[in-house]
Structure formats: structure tokens, C-alpha cells
Amino acid sequence: MSGQNIQTATIAGGCFWCLEAPYQRVPGVISVISGYMGGAIDNPTYTQICSGTTGHAEVVQIKFSPEKISFEEILDIFFILHDPTQLNRQGNDIGSQYRSAIFPHSDEQLKQAKAKIAALNQMGEYAAEIVTSIEPLATFYRAEDYHQDYYDTNSQQPYCQIIVAPKLEKLKRYLQGK
């Protein structure tokens, strides 16, 4: 990887397990780490995040090679994998920790995120307005080890079968259509 241009994207779209597993399977993605961002306390724990009182979102931080995948494609996948019209929830996961958010790492990412949301709204891609927030980049806190590679180590767990596996199918259809 020496000499390769590597960029970072940080996004929130419900439970981080639901984003981690699909992005781990995207060509050009180098790594995906589950964590927390956007809250008021340092070094939050999962228990604190679940209380919904810290202000953090469950996020994934994605390292990617822009020569193989663009930030715009990262966003395309993001909007396929979750419902960006649900405020502070995804399905039965309810609370601000499950909000839909983009944390741009550069002015260019900020510009692209705003343009993507505007374009999707204008096209009427969803039945309701997109509520995905664009939030200032903040300190990324890596989630506890048992949250990392969660689907790959717990694929038979009911949540993974019912919630995560269908997202992998959505990703597969997207990648086949490219």
C-alpha cells in the first residue's frame, strides 16, 4: 500500500454492523472500522451510546482507494443500504445513535454529500425527504473489539440473518449492475 492514495469516509446509517459488512465487500475499500462519532463525551462505551444520551452516532470509518472507488460511489452504496428518510432510527433500532449522517473529511466530500442529497431529493428517489445530516468531522472512537467484523463472526445470529444479510444482497445487486 505504500505510495497509494488512501482516503477516509465516515458515515452513520443505523447499526454499524449493517454498514460494516457490506463495505468490507466493496472493491477498493481497504478497511472498515465500527465506532462512534459526534457526541459530547470522550471514549464512550457501547452501553453509554445505547442510552441515547451521549449524542454519538454508530458509524463506520472506511479507508478506501480513490483510484478504485470514488467517494461518490461510497455515497451511492450508503443510500442503497439504509433508509435515509427515517429520523433517528433504522427499523427497530431507535434513537439518535442510529441517525443517518455523513461526516465529511474534506471540503470536496462536503460538496459531494450535499450534491448527492439534493439530487436524490430532486429525483424523488424516496417517498419522503432525506433527513441524513451532514455533521462536522469529530473524534472517531473505535467501538469495542466484539463489534468489529461482527457479521463475519456472527453470521448465524438472528439480527445478522434478518437485518444484515439483506443489505449484503442489496450490495451484490448494486455491484452487478455497475
The residues annotated as belonging to the active site are 15
Query: Cα(96)–Cα(87) distance, rounded to whole angstroms?
Result: 8
Contacts of 59 (CB under 8 A, 6+ apart): 10, 11, 12, 16, 34, 35, 36, 37, 38, 101, 103, 140
Burial class (CB in 10 A: 0-12, 13-18, 19+), 45: middle
Query: Cα(82)–Cα(80) distance, rounded to whole angstroms?
Result: 6
Q: Report whether 154 contacts 34 (CB < 8 A).
A: no
Which helix (H) or strand (E) segment holds residue 31: the answer is strand 29-37
Provide the 3-class DSSP secondary structure of residue 101. Answer: strand
**What is the DSSP code (8-state) at residue 143?**
P
